[in-house]
Amino acid sequence: MPNGKGSKLLRYVEHRLRITLTDGRTVAGTFLAFDRHLNLVLSDTEEFRYIKGTKQNIVEERQEKRNLGLIILRGENVVSIAVEAPPPPSAAGRLAPGGPGIAVGAGRGSIPAPPVGLPGQAPLGLGGAPVAGVGMPMGMGRGMPPPPPGGY
């Protein structure tokens, strides 16, 4: 694996990251991908903004939160990246172990498969001489294909 920013970021794919932007906003989301310009793709993203307000010489600071969903952050706007949480456990680890039996879909009105005949015999309904349209498409008969239309 090459050494560089790309290989370091690659370790954090699927992690939950908190990213600070140049304008002071903070976004937190699941890191999905990046490119050579360090543009970042985040899913399930939330944006946090700190708003300063003044009330009679008292500085009041409040935080606004918005859900953004899937976003692409331009790399030149990123100031810092911090890991907030590890990736969630894989889906395979959460599934219950398989039990005895056969994995067959539930019947929903479909026609059951025809019974298998004895070895060496044709399946039921296909015994005898070949008939056009049975076993191959209608257009695929014997002989050469027809010539192209005139004018060529």
Tell me: the pLDDT tens digits for 102-144? 766 666 766 666 556 556 565 555 556 666 656 555 555 567 7
Dist. CA 87–CA 104, nearest whole Å: 33
Over residues 54-92, the pLDDT tens digits come to 777 777 788 899 999 999 999 999 999 999 988 888 766
pTM for the whole structure: 0.54
Query: What token pair was written down for 121?
Result: 């015999």
Tokens 């539930």 label which residue? Answer: 106
Question: What is the reported pLDDT for 67?
Answer: 95
